[in-house]
Structure 1
Amino acid sequence: MKIAVIGCTHAGTAAIVNAAKLYPEAQITVYERNDNISFLSCGIALYVGGVIEDPNGLFYSSPEHLAELGVVTKMRHDVIAVDTEKKTLRVRDLASDSESDDTYDKLIITTGSWPILPRIEGSNLDNILLSKNFNHSNTIIEKAKTASKIVVVGAGYIGIELVEAFEMNGKKVTLIDSTDRILSKYLDPEFTEQTESSLKEHGIQLALGQTVTRFEGTDGKVAKVITTKGEYEADLVILCIGFKPNTELFQGQLEMMPNGALIVDEYMRTSKPDVYAAGDSCAIVYNPTGKHAYIPLATNAVRMGTLVARNLMKPTIAYMGTQGTSGIKIYDHNIASTGLTETAALDMGMDVKSVTIQENDRPEFMPTYNEVTLKVVYETDTRRIVGAQLMSKADLTQSVNTISVCIQNKMTIDQLGFVDFFFQPHYNKPWNFLNTAGLQAL
């Protein structure tokens, strides 16, 4: 059996390693256009900020490791054409510029995603950078050494982490986003207001509710960012606007969402036989709505990649869907969310309610305790939980993983009030704050 893998991303690495162990007789060939594999891009801000000094720890595999498993990894090889009917590939060696053909019995698409690049006048100026891969992170670090005024465009997780890292390194930082709140996909206003205040307290300028219209430069280097509401000086700009799936190869061949995300079933099968996909290149069922959605997260990617290998020969283990659970630390605030925000649910026309509590994590008779803010969103009629958000100076983020399981299992807000949680004064109260939220909803 010949297995071809396009892209050694998070999902690709998981699929490759598991397939090599499950099918030792298979001939596995991996095509990767970059010069490195398995880079944890979620660690870029930690690397840029100097928290991680040795970037080697951000790689969890290598061509040498895959070779030990019997996998042929062709680095700097770009797949330029695929015929899913004939099961053929056309590949270009980027080092020699030569081309060759290959065939497959099973194809695994783990091509990942790429930053969204809107057409903005002046975007070809020097010192306007992306933040996605290892080479990007090295360039950002090098350019930031001599930069004093840095503008980050995009107030999602990566943008927020970068502005914090730059500020901690003594830079003057501006954060621009077209929405009027940071992290608006993950948090409701009562949470983003606190995080925005924290950023402002540390001297970060927030330019929200405005869109970049052009960049102006001096001597070929960016000097100013112009938006719909103002202009901001900058000698370094990082674009973190969002991501899109790398699926151009399969236009017209495989079923896709409008944004190009490949649609797969619960066994990671695309619309063509023997073609599988995983990770940022595809969409999967989003449990809060029950519909396919594009949610590019490393956690989703490694799960999906592992399931591709398990289901390659026959349907074996079904994917349970995703809640899009994620977390972030902004200065001294630990924040996590899962599922839908109340804002997003209402915008989608869902009939939802929410309960918000502010509770101490431990009994007040203990020497120390910390306040936690928890919001749980649920359907009005069914009372099914569809989302939650948490913030605290103590690290209580794992509780959001618990609510993620509740959403996955279609539990109600009422049931949450009576879930069995242990009590020990070092850790919590007789009524865990998750119980308290459920009881308050009653």
Structure 2
Amino acid sequence: MKVIIVGCTHAGTYAASTILREHPGTQVTIYERNDTVSFLSCGIALWLDKKIANPKGLFYSSPQQLEKQGAKVEINHDVQNIDTKNKVVTVKNLKTGKVAKDHYDKLVMSTGSRPFIPPIEGVKNPNVYLCKSWNDAKRIFNKMKTTKRITVIGCGMIGAELADSFSNQGNKVYLIDQGSRPLGKYFDKRFTDIITKSYEAHNVTLAMNQQVKKISGNGPVIVTTSDGSQFKSDIVILCVGFRPNAQLLDGKVKMIRGTIVTNRYMQSSDPNIFAAGDCSMIYYNPTKSLFYAPLATNAVRQGLLVGKNIVEPTVRYMGTQASSGLKLYDRTIVASGMNMGMAKKFHMNVHQVVAETNYRPSFMPTTAPVLMSLVYDPKTRRILGGAFMCKHDVSMAANALSILIQNDNTIDQLAMVDMLFQPYFDAPFNYMNILGQVAVAHEDKLKKENNK
């Protein structure tokens, strides 16, 4: 059997490794337009902030490693067309310009996503940078040696982390977003109010509810926003989101808004074509429906499943909660599942509670408050999502919450589920228990009020 893999970052790397390990004898050819594979772009901010010294650790595989496993790896090769009827791909060697055709029995689309470039006047200014690939990271790193002022456009996860890193390295940072709050897509207002104060305390100027209208000049660059404000910067970083890179299969497989739809075994509507990673939809457990969530965690799991299911459907995709997190200055901020903003977009009737408690007893030498939120279905009491913020590392709380959402657990179960107690780590009722108890008490109160 001949398998062609198009694209080899996370999903492609895991698909190739799993196929070669679990289906020996399979002929695997990888076409990758870049000169690297398996780059962890989530580590760019850490490198720019000098929290890691050697960026080589941001690669967990290489063309040489995949070749040792048995794959044929063609880097700097761009797949330009896919003939799904005849199972043929047309590929261009980006170094020589030579175009060739190759045949497959099974095709894996793991082409990922591409940065969205908004139609801003002057967006092609040479001082405007993207932050997605290894080459993007190197350009920014080299430029930062002489920067003093940096504008970041977009305050999602990547923009938020870059603003943190740039300010830590002594830059004056301007963070611009058309939303009303930094990280507002991911966290509710109680959380983003704290995030706002943290940025302001670290020389980051926030320009919320603003659209960038124009980028001009070369030294400095002038960024003009919709209210007429102007921000002088040495460089501008675009972080306004991603779009699925799936146009090669337009009109050839089922898609939703340009994103490939697969079944729970990673097969597209063409059973010989699999898709994984940012070019495909995921099954989102909080809503029990398809959703677009371009995350490395989803990509590696989907890629592994492609490898397991490439011969026949074997292992079913469990779906995802799209759990995420980041460290901003001295705080851990994590989430899993839905927040209230998402629930409104899905037109779902949900309830939410917000609570705060110390992560461990006050008699300990130190402790810190954990700000928590929980979103749930008031009828079934099923947990749909939540978030945690603390100066202590509470990141594993998002993982625990992810399991609860995955398994359709309720606020009642969260309130009483057995968790360890040791004063060094937590209180007799873990803070997650307390969050569940607050939700139960809230529903009990509503029930009493409705029965009056």
TM-score per shorter chain, which class?
over 0.9
Residue aligning to 1:6: 6
Residue aligning to 1:274: 272
Map residues 16-27 of structure 1 onto 2, 5 A cutoff. 16-27=16-27
What is the DSSP-based 3-state SS (H/G/I as helix, E as strand, rest coil) of the residue aligned with 1:145?
Answer: helix
Q: Note the alpha carbon deviations across 1:228-249, whole angstroms, 9 max, x for none.
A: 0121111200000000111111
| Aligned counterparts of 2:169 and 2:110: Cα–Cα separation in 1 | 35
- CA displacement at 1:423 relative to structure 2: 1.3
Quick one: which amino acid aligns to residue 431 of structure 1? F
Quick one: which amino acid aligns to residue 246 of structure 2? T
Quick one: which amino acid aligns to residue 43 of structure 1? G
- Shifted more, 364-373 versus 69-78: the winner is 364-373
Q: Does 1:194 align with 2:177?
A: no
Assess if the C-alpha contact under 8 Å between 1:76 and 1:94 holds in 2.
yes
Map residues 206-355 of structure 1 onto 2, 5 A cutoff. 206-218=206-218, 223-229=221-227, 230-258=229-257, 260-355=258-353
Residue aligning to 2:167: 167
- CA displacement at 1:89 relative to structure 2: 0.4
What is the DSSP-based 3-state SS (H/G/I as helix, E as strand, rest coil) of the residue aligned with 2:19?
Answer: helix
Q: Note the alpha carbon deviations across 1:273-306, whole angstroms, 9 max, x for none.
A: 2100101110111111111111001111100000
- CA displacement at 1:404 relative to structure 2: 0.7
Quick one: which amino acid aligns to residue 167 of structure 1? S
- CA displacement at 1:142 relative to structure 2: 1.2
Residue aligning to 2:151: 151
TM-score, reference length from structure 1: 0.98
| Aligned counterparts of 2:170 and 2:361: Cα–Cα separation in 1 | 39
Change (3 A) 1:62 1:216: same
What is the DSSP-based 3-state SS (H/G/I as helix, E as strand, rest coil) of the residue aligned with 2:255?
Answer: coil
| Aligned counterparts of 1:216 and 1:163: Cα–Cα separation in 2 | 21
- Shifted more, 1-10 versus 348-357: the winner is 348-357
Residue aligning to 2:110: 110
Number of residue equivalences: 439
Assess if the C-alpha contact under 8 Å between 1:15 and 1:309 holds in 2.
yes
- Shifted more, 352-361 versus 13-22: the winner is 352-361
Quick one: which amino acid aligns to residue 112 of structure 2? G
Residue aligning to 2:29: 29
- CA displacement at 1:422 relative to structure 2: 1.5
| Aligned counterparts of 1:143 and 1:293: Cα–Cα separation in 2 | 36
| Aligned counterparts of 1:359 and 1:15: Cα–Cα separation in 2 | 43
Assess if the C-alpha contact under 8 Å between 1:361 and 1:428 holds in 2.
yes
Q: Note the alpha carbon deviations across 1:217-265, whole angstroms, 9 max, x for none.
A: 14xx66201110121111200000000111111100011111x111111
Quick one: which amino acid aligns to residue 6 of structure 1? V
Instruction: Choose from 356, 361, 364 the match for 2:362.
Output: 364
Quick one: which amino acid aligns to residue 34 of structure 1? N
Q: Does 1:138 align with 2:135?
A: no
What is the DSSP-based 3-state SS (H/G/I as helix, E as strand, rest coil) of the residue aligned with 1:210?
Answer: coil
Assess if the C-alpha contact under 8 Å between 2:350 and 2:378 holds in 1.
yes
Change (3 A) 1:101 1:347: closer
What is the DSSP-based 3-state SS (H/G/I as helix, E as strand, rest coil) of the residue aligned with 2:303?
Answer: helix
Residue aligning to 2:43: 43
| Aligned counterparts of 1:439 and 1:142: Cα–Cα separation in 2 | 51
Instruction: Choose from 394, 397, 415 the match for 1:396.
Output: 394
- Shifted more, 202-211 versus 357-366: the winner is 357-366
What is the DSSP-based 3-state SS (H/G/I as helix, E as strand, rest coil) of the residue aligned with 1:417?
Answer: helix
| Aligned counterparts of 2:341 and 2:439: Cα–Cα separation in 1 | 18
Assess if the C-alpha contact under 8 Å between 1:335 and 1:392 holds in 2.
yes
| Aligned counterparts of 2:255 and 2:295: Cα–Cα separation in 1 | 18
TM-score, reference length from structure 2: 0.96
| Aligned counterparts of 2:439 and 2:160: Cα–Cα separation in 1 | 32
Assess if the C-alpha contact under 8 Å between 1:126 and 1:222 holds in 2.
no
Assess if the C-alpha contact under 8 Å between 2:163 and 2:173 holds in 1.
yes
- CA displacement at 1:367 relative to structure 2: 2.1
| Aligned counterparts of 1:209 and 1:231: Cα–Cα separation in 2 | 15
Unaligned runs of 5+ in 1: none
| Aligned counterparts of 1:67 and 1:223: Cα–Cα separation in 2 | 44
What is the DSSP-based 3-state SS (H/G/I as helix, E as strand, rest coil) of the residue aligned with 1:374?
Answer: strand
Map residues 410-429 of structure 1 onto 2, 5 A cutoff. 410-429=408-427
- CA displacement at 1:381 relative to structure 2: 1.3
- CA displacement at 1:385 relative to structure 2: 0.8
Q: Does 1:184 align with 2:205?
A: no
Quick one: which amino acid aligns to residue 299 of structure 2? A
| Aligned counterparts of 1:12 and 1:358: Cα–Cα separation in 2 | 42
- CA displacement at 1:346 relative to structure 2: 2.7
Unaligned runs of 5+ in 2: 441-452
Q: Note the alpha carbon deviations across 1:21-49, whole angstroms, 9 max, x for none.
A: 11220110000000111110000001111
| Aligned counterparts of 2:265 and 2:385: Cα–Cα separation in 1 | 25
| Aligned counterparts of 1:206 and 1:280: Cα–Cα separation in 2 | 29
| Aligned counterparts of 1:264 and 1:138: Cα–Cα separation in 2 | 35
Change (3 A) 1:228 1:319: same
What is the DSSP-based 3-state SS (H/G/I as helix, E as strand, rest coil) of the residue aligned with 1:404?
Answer: helix
| Aligned counterparts of 1:331 and 1:216: Cα–Cα separation in 2 | 31
Quick one: which amino acid aligns to residue 401 of structure 1? N
What is the DSSP-based 3-state SS (H/G/I as helix, E as strand, rest coil) of the residue aligned with 2:166?
Answer: helix
Quick one: which amino acid aligns to residue 146 of structure 2? T
Assess if the C-alpha contact under 8 Å between 2:274 and 2:306 holds in 1.
yes
- CA displacement at 1:366 relative to structure 2: 2.0
Residue aligning to 1:86: 86
Instruction: Choose from 429, 439, 442 the match for 1:441.
Output: 439
| Aligned counterparts of 2:182 and 2:356: Cα–Cα separation in 1 | 22
Assess if the C-alpha contact under 8 Å between 2:127 and 2:221 holds in 1.
no
Residue aligning to 1:405: 403
| Aligned counterparts of 2:13 and 2:127: Cα–Cα separation in 1 | 32
Q: Note the alpha carbon deviations across 1:61-91, whole angstroms, 9 max, x for none.
A: 1111011111100010000000112111000
| Aligned counterparts of 1:348 and 1:110: Cα–Cα separation in 2 | 28
Assess if the C-alpha contact under 8 Å between 1:285 and 1:293 holds in 2.
yes
